[in-house]
C-alpha cells in the first residue's frame, strides 16, 4: 500500500467531511464566517483611513491682505480643510463645542509686513484635542502648508542672483499652538471615555443574550412563563440585575480611570451616571432580541459579535467617524454607541452639560423606545 492510499484511509477524512456537511447546514455560522471578514475589509480598506479631508477650519484673518488671502487659497486647495471665516475670536468656543470647528487659525495683522521684511511669521493655532490623532495631524499639515507658502513668496520676490547666494531666503513660519479640551494630547484621556461605551455594550448585550438562551435551554424560562407572573415581569426580572451590575462596572471604571490614570472628567460625573442607564437599557434590549433569535449559546455569541463589531468600528471608538466616507458616516449615526461615546467624551474632555448634549440624549431615548417596542413583541411571542 503506497503513501497516497494510506493517507486516504486515515480516520481524519470522514471527520472532516462530517464537519463540512455540518457547517453547510448551519447557514448562520457560514454567513458569519463570510460576512465579518467582508465587513472588516470593506471598512479598513475604504471607509477607515488615517488621512483626513474637509476638516472644518475656522480662520480669523486680521491682516486681510493679498498675502493672507493667498495663504488661505493654498490651504483650501489641498482639500484637507474646509475654511470658515471668523469675525470675532469669542465665537471660537461655541463652534468648537458643536464640532463646527476642529481647529482655528489666527493670521496676525502684520502678516504681510513680516513677509516683506523677511522676519519670522508667527501664526496662532487653536486645536480641538478631543481627538488627539486629528489634532496632531492638523498641526503638522497647517505648519507645512504655511512654511511652503512663505518659502514660495520669499523666493519669488528675491532677485535671481540672491536666491542662489542666500538659501536662507526661504524664511521661517511657526505656529503658536494652544490646545483645547485635552491640553497634554493624552491618548489615554481620549481612549477611556470610549472604553466606557465598549464596556457597557459588551456587558449588557453579550451577557444578557447568553444568560437568557441558557435559561431557555435549561427549560427554566418556560416554567416561569406559565406562572401568574407576566412575561414582561419575568424578562425584566432576568435582565435588570445585569443592568445594575453593568452600571456598577461603569462607575468602577470611572473611578479607576480617575485614580490610576489621572483622567478626571471635566464635566459632571453625576450627569454621566444619570445618562448611562439609558444606554445600558438599550444594550439589555439588544441582548433580549438576540436571545429570542438564537437557538443555542454559540448562536447567541455569534449574533452578539455580528452586532458589536460594526458598532466598534462605526462609532468613533477606534476611528474618527467624521473622516469616513459619507455612506458610513450615515450608518454610524444609526449606531447607539456613537451617541453614547459623544456624551462620554463631551463630559470628559469638553466639560459639556445637558444643554449641549441633549441631541445625543434624545437620540439614545429614541433608540431605547425602538428596542422596547421590538422586545415587547418578542416577549409576547415567547409568552
pLDDT at 156 (0 to 100): 66
Q: Which of 180, 213, 232 is the last residue of a domain?
A: 180
Q: Is residue 109 part of a domain?
A: yes
Question: How many whole angstroms separate alpha carbon 313 and alpha carbon 328?
Answer: 10
DSSP letter at 79 equals: S
Q: Are residues 248 and 300 in the same domain?
A: yes
CA atoms within 13 A on the CB side of 145: 21
pLDDT in tens, 158-180: 554 544 444 444 456 666 777 77
Confidence at residue 88, expressed as pLDDT on a 0 to 100 scale: 77
Tally the domains of the chain: 2
Amino acid 280: pLDDT: 93
Give backbone dihedrals phi and psi of 242, rounded to 5 degrees, phi first: -65, -35
Report if residue 172 sits inside a domain. yes
Alpha helices by DSSP H, 204-322 = 207-218, 220-225, 231-259, 269-293, 297-313
Residue 106 inside a domain? The answer is: yes
377: Cβ contacts below 8 Å, ≥ 6 apart:
none
- What's the predicted TM-score (pTM) here? 0.74
| Residue 196 cell numbers, joined | 466606557
Residue 234 shares a structural domain with residue 332: yes
Q: Both 378 and 296 in a single domain?
A: yes
Residues 163 and 311 in one domain: no
Identify whether 69 is part of a domain: yes
Q: Are residues 378 and 251 in the same domain?
A: yes
Cβ(342)–Cβ(316) under 8 Å? yes
Domain with 154 in it: 55-180
238 lies in the same domain as 204: yes
- Kindly give, in sequence order, each residue whose CB lies less than 8 Å from that of residue 333, ignoring residues fewer than 6 positions away: none
Q: Are 238 and 290 in the same domain?
A: yes
Of 132, 163, 180, the position where a domain reaches its end is: 180
Strand bridging mode 103-107 / 173-180: unpaired
Per-residue pLDDT, 167: 45
- In terms of Cβ atoms closer than 10 Å to its own Cβ (0-12, 13-18, 19+), residue 98 is exposed
For residue 169, what pLDDT is reported? 46
Q: Residues 173, 61: one domain?
A: yes
Taking only the tens place, the pLDDT of each residue in 72-129 is 888 888 888 888 888 877 777 777 766 678 888 888 888 888 887 777 788 888 888 7
* 23 inside domain: no
Q: Between the CA of residue 21 and those of 7, 17, 380, what are the distances in Å?
A: 21, 6, 36
Cell digits for 9? Answer: 484511509
| Exposure b/e, 191-225, CB count within 10 A at least 16 = b | bbbbebbbebbbbbbbbbbbbbbebbeeeebeeeb
342-374 residue pLDDT tens: 999 999 988 889 998 999 999 999 999 888 877
Instruction: Say yes or no: 358 and 262 in one domain.
Output: yes
Residue 305 lies in a domain: yes
Q: Look up the CATH number of the domain holding residue 156.
A: 3.40.1710.10
- What are the 10-residue block averages of pLDDT along the chain, 383 residues in total? 56 58 61 63 58 79 88 87 82 71 86 80 82 80 84 66 47 68 77 90 86 74 64 70 87 90 90 94 88 80 82 80 79 91 91 90 93 70 55
Boundary of a domain, candidates 163, 180, 197? 180
In-domain check, residue 141: yes
Using alpha carbons, select from 286, 280, 308, 282 the residue that is nearest to residue 209: 286
- Judgement on whether residues 151 and 288 belong to the same structural domain of the protein: no
Classify residue 5: in a domain, yes or no. no
Together in a domain, 96 and 136: yes
Query: How many other CB atoms sit within 10 Å of the CB of residue 47?
Result: 20
User: Where do we find the cell 479598513?
Assistant: 44
Q: Do 283 and 342 share a domain, yes or no?
A: yes
Q: Report the interhelical angle of 187-201 vs 269-293 (nearest 10°).
A: 40
Amino acid at each position: 500500500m503506497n503513501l497516497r492510499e494510506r493517507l486516504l484511509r486515515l480516520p481524519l477524512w470522514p471527520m472532516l467531511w462530517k464537519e463540512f456537511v455540518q457547517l453547510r447546514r448551519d447557514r448562520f455560522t457560514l454567513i458569519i464566517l463570510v460576512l465579518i471578514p467582508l465587513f472588516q475589509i470593506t471598512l479598513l480598506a475604504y471607509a477607515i483611513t488615517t488621512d483626513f479631508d474637509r476638516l472644518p477650519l475656522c480662520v480669523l484673518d486680521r491682516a486681510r491682505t493679498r498675502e493672507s488671502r493667498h495663504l488661505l487659497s493654498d490651504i483650501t486647495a489641498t482639500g484637507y480643510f474646509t475654511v470658515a471665516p471668523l469675525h470675532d475670536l469669542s465665537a471660537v468656543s461655541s463652534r468648537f463645542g458643536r464640532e463646527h470647528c476642529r481647529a482655528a487659525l489666527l493670521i496676525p495683522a502684520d502678516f504681510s509686513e513680516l513677509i516683506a521684511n523677511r522676519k519670522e511669521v508667527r501664526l496662532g493655532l487653536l486645536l480641538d484635542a478631543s481627538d488627539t490623532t486629528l489634532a496632531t495631524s492638523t498641526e503638522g499639515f497647517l505648519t507645512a502648508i504655511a512654511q511652503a507658502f512663505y518659502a514660495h513668496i520669499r523666493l519669488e520676490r528675491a532677485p535671481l542672483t540672491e536666491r542662489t547666494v542666500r538659501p536662507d531666503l526661504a524664511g521661517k513660519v511657526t505656529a503658536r499652538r494652544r490646545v483645547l479640551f485635552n491640553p497634554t494630547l493624552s491618548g489615554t484621556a481620549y481612549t477611556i471615555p470610549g472604553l466606557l461605551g465598549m464596556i457597557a455594550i459588551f456587558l449588557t448585550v453579550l451577557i444578557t443574550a447568553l444568560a437568557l438562551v441558557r435559561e431557555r435551554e435549561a427549560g427554566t424560562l418556560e416554567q416561569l412563563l406559565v406562572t401568574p407572573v407576566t412575561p414582561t415581569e419575568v424578562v425584566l426580572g432576568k435582565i435588570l440585575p445585569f443592568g445594575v451590575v453593568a452600571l456598577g462596572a461603569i462607575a468602577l471604571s470611572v473611578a479607576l480611570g480617575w485614580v490610576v490614570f489621572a483622567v478626571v472628567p471635566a464635566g459632571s460625573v453625576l450627569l454621566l451616571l444619570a445618562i448611562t442607564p439609558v444606554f445600558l437599557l438599550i444594550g439589555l434590549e439588544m441582548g433580549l432580541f438576540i436571545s429570542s433569535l438564537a437557538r443555542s449559546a454559540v448562536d447567541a455569541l455569534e449574533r452578539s459579535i455580528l452586532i458589536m463589531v460594526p458598532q466598534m468600528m462605526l462609532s468613533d471608538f477606534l476611528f474618527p467617524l467624521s473622516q469616513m466616507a459619507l455612506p458610513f458616516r450615515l450608518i454610524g449615526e444609526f449606531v447607539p454607541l456613537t451617541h453614547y461615546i459623544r456624551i462620554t467624551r463631551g463630559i470628559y474632555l469638553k466639560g459639556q452639560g445637558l444643554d449641549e448634549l441633549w441631541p445625543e440624549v434624545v437620540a439614545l431615548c429614541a433608540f431605547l423606545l425602538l428596542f422596547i417596542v421590538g422586545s415587547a413583541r418578542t416577549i409576547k411571542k415567547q409568552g
